[in-house]
Every structure is written in structure tokens, then in C-alpha cells.
Chains A and B, each alone.
Chain A
């Protein structure tokens, strides 16, 4: 295979685990060379890959139109570019793909490369179905967060060849007026464990039992749409068809009925637990473990068990 580039997220200078998996995954295609486009600081000197890597650090900035991404378009000319789904990665990949007149495939669940062709499974209908497709020419790929990397072997430690920095070009008149990061909680899209709660909690004041359970687990909190519409919880916690799509290892749904629009956002979870006092709640059909009971009784008991054993 020809040249491969990866968009990777770094945190405190280190590569995220998903980015490391992505590097060894693309290594399995035996590319001629590997280029790492790092969003965030770079503070590592080795990677697990099939060959040594050149790193381009993307400086903070607005990579938001074909004028501002021009330097990057040139840097990845002739490369196949891979990323793991996030807001920034998908926005950047789609702009790059169009600026270089290449095709892009997003929502990739499985992927292999042989005989000069990619064979790809893309999830559609919020995970209810999938499409198998093939392409010799598509060059931009966004992999789902729950992409299964486990089948791909990890290569030896390689050192970094070179690190350079790329700044988005001036030319775009857009500017950031204020950054409003969410602080103090685990970002929902990244969380491995999530506790979600719905209208069954009855009152925003009752959320302490949800937060206590989340804290005991080290989980992020989520909610159903009516709950954020009622302003009981912030909008960014709302999961579902019109909200965030999550794919954690564990999702515990408390007092949520399991409407299809809610399921659309949580289908990708590995294990689903449902706690609801109505044995007929539709969510139980989509649960790995179900408890018919009152959240006010069950949640504190689970929290206590986690704290004591």
C-alpha cells in the first residue's frame, strides 16, 4: 500500500490508546510510509508501528475551510488518511477529502485491505444495520469509536523520525470568540462507563443518586432528551438519535423507557443494564441485565456495594 497518514489525538503530550491502536492497525496494511498528524502537543519519542513515523503537530487554530487547511492539504497529498471518529476529526477529514477531490467513508465498523482494495463495513441507521462496500480509490476514512482493533497485531517499538509543526493558514476571517470546555466531568463520548437517567428520576434534585453511582464507578453521566429539554440536565448529556451517540463498555439506564430514539444513541454499548420499575418497559428487550425496581432503592444499594466491596 502507498503512503498512510493518521490523525491522532494526544493528551498531555501522549497518544491516546485509540490512536496507538490505529497506528498499529494501519501498520498491518504494510504502507510505504506512515505520517502522524497530531492534534495537541507531541511528547513521545517512540510508537508501536511497522516502520518509523514522521510527525506533524497541528497547532491550535481554526482548520475550517479550504483556505485555512491549505498547508495540510499539501502535506497529505498522495496519502490515505485515517482517523477515529470525533467532531474535529470528521470535520477535518471531510474538508481535506473534498479539497483534494478524494472520496471519504465514515462510520467504519470493520475494514480490511487486500489486492489493492478496501473492504469496509459501515454502520448505518444508528447501528441497526450495516453496509458492505468496497473501493480502490477512496482515501479518507473515519473509524467508529468502537471499531474492533483486537484482530490486528502490534509491531515493534519504532522511534519517531521527525517532528514538525503546521499552522492553519491565514486567509479565513473566522475567529474564536470564546472557548467553553466542559470541566470537572468525564467527557461523554470518551467514557468507557456511562450511567444514564431519564424522566423516571422525577426531579432534578434526585440526580444525586445517579451522580453517586457514576462516581463510585468512575462513569460519565448521561440523560434522555426530555430530561435535557426540561433543563434538568445540560444539553450535552443528552444521548440518542438527536443527541450524543455513545459506545461505552457499560451503559446503565435508570428510569428510561427505552424509546427507539434513545436506543439509537446507545446501541453501540457493549453491555447494557436497565433499571426500571415497569416490567413492561421496552428497554428490557435491549438489555443484557435488567432489574425491575425503583431507582431510589436500587441505585443507592449499587453505590454502596461498589464502595464497600
Chain B
């Protein structure tokens, strides 16, 4: 079985996001990047499947060379090889079509992604890829097991969960508790050094034009109420803010 895991490389959530005034875009100054936390779950489950049932795990990232250290970390966790589509995507469509052209050349049984990237929070790349390839699509998947005729999944839905039987090939968006995050072993780190990262050209355009980024202002009231007057809170919620 061939499993493709698509990873985003995103600023660590504790990063302070700032705007570069010369470009009006998010500044990359001082940011620490991590593999998207949901993507990390997807990768961890792929590695578990490889260990339990045997599978070839390929990691794919659409982005610049600065992400190679994170891709290397995925190889250290146990992925067999990696592909980087060398570009600077600005829209979900560009990421999706890059993934789709790779898969058209290299058919996969299973494509695992995170349910969303924590920078753009779009939650749609997996759906776009599934729609373009015609593969089955489920998102967000909380449990994934192999079955005789494909996969058995537990999927969150609006207002609950469902168990489904899903044929292959499929594209899935993953979320916890699908797997436990893993830490690379010393041996993994050593063997990752010789694993291959194939770099492919990025060749897609988008009709969506990004104008600028802004930092959201958080105008909270910051009013403190003394513990002995706690009941006042209810009055304030009723009269000052009308939320009750």
C-alpha cells in the first residue's frame, strides 16, 4: 500500500505574528516553524500502519527549501521518502493542484492530510484534492483501521460521529485521537540523512489575488470584578453587553 502524507510547515502557535510593512504580508522574521499539528497526527498514523501492516509512506510538501529540516524530521519519524514541490503557494487551489499533478504521475492508495493547516485554517485542501482526483473523501477522521475491502473509519460529523466503510483510493483529513504524536529516534535521525527528498517544479497559478494581511485587534474590556461581588457579572452580561 502506498500512503502519501501531505504536510504544511507552519509557524509554531506560540509565535507572535507580525506584518512586514514593506510587503503588507505576514513577516517570517523570528518565526519558528513546525509541521502542522494535524498533519503530524496524519503522519503518525501512516507510520503506525507501515509498522503494523507494511506500507510505503511518502511525505509531500508544497513550499520552499527552508522547509527541508521539517521534511527531514518526517523522514526520521519513519517516512520512506519525501517530495517537495518547490514554490510559494498563496492559495489552497495552488497547493491542491500541485498535489493532484504529483498523484496523477504517482498513483496512491491513501492520501492523508491534517483536517486543517493552522496558518490558513482553510480546511479544504483534502476536499479539493479528492474532488479533482475522484477519490473518496472523509474529514475529520478520528480513527482509521485497515479492513478487507478498504478502510474502517470513525469520522466526526456535525452533531456527532459516524463509523464508515471507505473504499480505496481515498483522501482523508485527520484529527486526534487518530494517533499519538511521535518523537524521532536516534536511529531514525541517522537513517533519515540518506533518504531522498525529490524536488519538483511548482507550476500553477491562481486567480485569487492577495492584497494584504492585517493583525486582528483584540479589543477586550479587561474589567475585573471582585470575588465578593461575583454576582455583578450576571447584571453586566445582561445590561452592559446584552449577551444574556
B174 CB, nearest partner CB in chain A, Å: 11
Closest to A125 in B: B17
- A79 to B130 alpha-carbon distance, docked (Å): 21
Given A66-B131, A128-B215, A290-B224, do A87 and B139 touch, yes or no (CB 8 Å)? Answer: yes
Binds B, one of A21-29, A49-57, A88-96, A161-169: A88-96
List of A residues within 8 angstroms of B176 by Cβ: 235, 242
User: A306 to B243, alpha carbons, bound, how many Å?
Assistant: 13
Q: Is the CB of A241 within 8 A of B37?
A: yes
Within 8 A of A (CB), among B62-79: none
Report B-chain residues with C-beta under 8 Å of the C-beta of A103: 91, 93, 206-208
Contact between chains at A94 and B124 (CB < 8 Å): yes
* Cβ B233 vs Cβ A273 within 8 A: yes
A189→B156 CA distance, assembly (Å): 12
Q: Are B243 and A193 in contact (CB under 8 A)?
A: yes
Docked-complex contact A179 and B215, CB < 8 angstroms: no
Do A64 and B137 contact each other (CB < 8 Å), given the known contacts A173-B167, A302-B231? yes
For the A-B complex, the count of residue pairs with Cβ-Cβ distances under 8 Å equals: 254
Residues facing B in A98-139 (CB within 8 A) are 98-99, 101, 103-107, 122-138
Question: A289 contacts which chain B residues (CB < 8 A)?
Answer: 221, 223-225, 233, 236-237
Q: Collect the chain A residues with CB atoms within 8 Å of residue B186's CB.
A: none
- A30-38, A180-188, A200-208 - the one binding chain B: A180-188
In contact, A271 and B237 (Cβ under 8 angstroms)? yes
Q: Kindly supply a per-residue 1/0 record for chain B positions 155-168, scoring 1 wherever the CB is within 8 Å of any chain A CB and 0 otherwise.
A: 01111111111110
Of all chain B residues, the one with the shortest Cβ separation from A94 is B127
Answer yes or no: A287 CB below 8 A from chain B CBs.
yes
Chain B's closest residue to A69 (CB) is: B131
Residues of B within 8 A of A132 (CB): 210-214
Partner of B243, one of A66, A105, A271, A290: A271
Q: Mark A252-277, 1 if CB is under 8 A from B, else 0.
A: 00000000110010010011110000
Alpha-carbon distance A64/B67, docked complex (angstroms) = 32
Q: Is the CB of B122 within 8 A of A172?
A: no
Write out the residue numbers on chain A whose beta carbons fall within 8 Å of the beta carbon of B212: 131-132
Interface residues of chain A, those whose CB is within 8 Å of chain B, are 62, 64-67, 69, 86-88, 90-91, 93-99, 101, 103-107, 122-138, 142, 172-182, 187, 189, 193, 217, 235-236, 241-242, 249-250, 260-261, 264, 267, 270-273, 284-294, 297-298, 301-302, 305-306, 309
7 A–B contacts, CB within 8 A, in A order: A91-B137, A94-B130, A131-B210, A176-B164, A242-B176, A284-B222, A287-B222
Given contacts A132-B210, A288-B220, could you give 8 more A-B pairs where the C-beta distance is less than 8 Å?
A94-B130, A95-B130, A128-B17, A132-B211, A242-B37, A271-B243, A301-B230, A305-B231
